Amino acid sequence: MYRPDELNEIQRMAVLDTEGAVLVTAGAGSGKTKLLTHRIAHLIQDLKVPPYNILAITFTNKAANEMRSRLESMLPECDGIWIFTFHAACVRILRRFIDKIGFNKDFTIYGDAETKAVVKRICKENDYHEDMIKRILIEISNAKNKCISPSDYGNVFKFAQDSECIANAYAQYQATLQSNNALDYDDLLLQTLKLLRTSDEAREYFQNKFRYIHIDEFQDTNIVQYEIAKILAGKYGNIFAVGDEDQCIYTWRGASIANIFDFQKDFKCKLYKLEQNYRSTDNILSVANKIIKGNSNRLDKKLWTSNGSGDKVVCFGAATDGFEADYVVKTIYELIHNGEYNYSDCCVLLRLNALTRPFEERFLQYGIPHKVYGGFKFYDRKEVKDVLAYARLSVNTCDDEAIYRIINFPRRGIGESSIDKIRSYAKENRLTAFEVITHAENMPFPTALRSKLVDFGKTLINLNRAAQGEVTAYFKYLLFDILNVVNLFSEDDDDRARLENINELVNSVRDFVKNNPESTVSDYLQTVSLYSDTDDINDGNAVTLATVHSAKGLEFPVVFVAGLEDGTFPSLRMNENNSSHIEEERRLMYVAVTRAKRRLFLTYAQSRYLYGETKYSIPSRFLCECGLVERRADSTDVFTSSPSYRGVGSFARSDANLQSSSRAAGFKSNTFGGEKFSGTYKSDFGKKVTAAKPTGNDKPSVSDFAVGATVMHKTFGKGKIVSIDDMGRNVYAKIDFERGGVMQLAVGFAPLTVVKDGE
């Protein structure tokens, strides 16, 4: 129901202020969805504004559906309100008036596949290298998001590499879309802006229709979206923008934080600050406020809550990234077994997609149900599966699915029709695809195809031989000699992430070989298949594992933010250590912290195997800024360092001089405890926290675990204990499993049972 009495004083003032421009800067967890829905309900129910005259813009279909659902429960009649994403609203506008700018109203919307096909053809006609296709697509999209036309592109970027080629391709691309009566996703915005600027009829129609305009997540608008909003509000000026500049984390895809500040100047708006947080405890908000205070490009506000102080925020420093994952698993285990929370109450947030692997593996090892939110599990990511498909084929030449997966990774120019020829010939002659390709010189294929297959066949034969040797040597050969991964990917953010994932696959190989020095490539693949086959544990009651970007808009009772080292979070790559980049990283940290409702754990590692080499790092500057970790006066050089994401090449080098790099990082060695899983952990002001002990008698006693004992694990089957290591807080057993090889598990909370003689 419509209940204005449920609003706090500031919310109520903003709801009742209906005439003119209003900007609401809404802090995390401050109830902005309630604010928006109550304002629309007030307009319809109290002021008798026809639903037809109201526009509500959100940024996701999920948010639009949520707003529509709430309004339907509050009002007896709300049909006619436009509650859409920006793109959906623009489609409706264009369907009515696009003929005014030279398109037919039955225009087609091109998706990624169609736009790529057009650019690919243009590159072929202009003799541009295939590598230009992806770059041209990115540049065209970026140009459209900044309102840069094909004719202006060459002038704006005249000193950039290949600018003439890109400008030419951009012009031809737009001409093709025009002749095909088609718009791409960016054009839905850009052509709407063009329509509203050039057609008096269209502009006046929608200005009269939308007397009251509402825009959610205003900090995520780009230049084109802001210009559209300005025109739509041009007659009545009743525009209500809700956003939080402290949560602007998408500038890399066109969002402009400047829009919030321009809105104040352009509309001479009234400003309301929603600072009461309904989600988190005071201790969590204290950390959030200290972090975001470091940004200068923001409207000053300070979150507060009446939820009480709550538990102290815990900061934990581990010796290695592996022990960091162990700590997270152990803490989740204790929270669950103490009856305080369910698995679904817990979330692990990471800055980089590639960091999920050790957590995914630990969750499986310790029987913790989990799901990866907003992306694929590590071993299901395309580039990881592509590399592993080579390995699968190297040990099993009958694996036709593997060979068809990697036949064009990297590109070999073997098209679908050629693949169909290979598939048909193999089936007719009862041969494997491997046999056909490795004997291509004798096959009845066109000369050009035969030539490509001969080279590919030699590669497969060499890999098959290499797979008989040592595992690390095989993957070095595959990644550097065959795939040349260092130069395989381009410079955009998506390709960086793919290379980071391959780097992390390297870490997986090294971890496995370290514990299983006599293993084979086949042994490694068997272990990976166990980590991949985890569908049975991903029910509704599962821990969420996500990047911070994908978790925006979510909330959890218990949140772990892991990987908090300088260079990882904040992410620092080449040329990115500038104030605007650090401010966005700080906003990202603020978003991560404010996902937590009751418990917040912040973790970091002294050493992390990332980008293909062991990195000795200092704790994130954000931990220092909120008083959880002391920053050393002599460590400024590390705060300005920029580790290269192309460090995968170091997989081929030795790990020499690691101790000297550790000293160069300016550590206080006692910050991280010893080499083993002791680490240190602190609450807000450095007070030590005593971890609760799990209850229940369903676990065997630690004393039951001894060298030589046989144990059973749900996923890895039977195993024999090779050694026992008492690390203070935990007793670890090194176990040689029938499936999965050797791994080291904390017996206090691993899902292990001791197999008695005769069982």
Catalytic residue chosen out of the listed positions 187, 216, 383, 566: 216
Cβ pair 241, 55 in contact under 8 A: no
> CA-to-CA distance for 168 and 262, rounded, in angstroms?
33
Identify each DSSP E strand in 157-220 by its residue range: 182-184, 212-215
Catalytic residue chosen out of the listed positions 405, 595, 598, 608: 595
- Quick count: other Cβ atoms within 10 Å of Cβ 105? 11
Residue 447 is a catalytic residue: no
Give 144's contacts (C-beta < 8 A, 6+ positions apart). 186, 187, 189, 190, 224
Cβ pair 605, 317 in contact under 8 A: yes
Residue 108 is a catalytic residue: no
> CA-to-CA distance for 757 and 714, rounded, in angstroms?
19
State the DSSP code for 107: P
In terms of C-beta distances under 8 Å and separation of at least 24 residues, what long-range contacts does 252-255 make, across chains too? 252/493, 252/584, 253/145, 254/142, 254/145, 254/146, 254/222, 254/223, 255/219, 255/220, 255/221, 255/222
Residue 300 is a catalytic residue: no
- Quick count: other Cβ atoms within 10 Å of Cβ 147? 15
Q: If residue 400 lies in a helix (H) or strand (E), which one and from where to where?
A: helix 400-406
Catalytic residue chosen out of the listed positions 247, 356, 397, 614: 247
> CA-to-CA distance for 566 and 622, rounded, in angstroms?
9
Cβ pair 242, 57 in contact under 8 A: no
DSSP of 236-286: T--EEEEE-GGG---GGGT--THHHHHHHHHH--EEEEE-B-SSS-HHHHH
Burial class (CB in 10 A: 0-12, 13-18, 19+), 21: buried
Residue 360's φ and ψ, nearest 5 degrees, are -60, -45
Q: Cα dihedral sign for 667, 670, 674, 679?
A: negative
Q: Cα dihedral sign for 692, 698, 699, 704?
A: positive
Task: Please list, residue by residue across 181-192, b when 16 or more beta carbons sit within 10 angstroms of its beta carbon and e when fewer do.
Answer: ebbbebbbbbbb
> CA-to-CA distance for 389 and 399, rounded, in angstroms?
9
- Quick count: other Cβ atoms within 10 Å of Cβ 252? 11
Residue 595 is a catalytic residue: yes
Cβ pair 121, 195 in contact under 8 A: no
Asked, as a colleague might, if the bond just before 446 is cis with ω within 30 of 0, I would say no
Strand partners, 720: 710, 736
> CA-to-CA distance for 162 and 322, rounded, in angstroms?
44
Task: Please list, residue by residue across 613-632, b when 16 or more beta carbons sit within 10 angstroms of its beta carbon and e when fewer do.
Answer: bbbbbbbbbbbbbbebbebe
Strand order in the sheet with 54-58: 82-85, 54-58, 212-215, 239-243, 22-26, 270-274
Tokens of 129: 């290298």
What's CA 208's distance to the chain center, in Å?
A: 41
Catalytic residue chosen out of the listed positions 139, 217, 386, 613: 217
> CA-to-CA distance for 693 and 333, rounded, in angstroms?
10
> CA-to-CA distance for 406 and 51, rounded, in angstroms?
54
Q: Using H for helix, E for strand and C for coil, what is the string for 75-86?
A: CCCCCCCEEEEH
Pairing of strands 212-215, 346-350: unpaired
Tokens of 1: 């129901």
Catalytic residue annotation: 32-33, 216-217, 247, 595
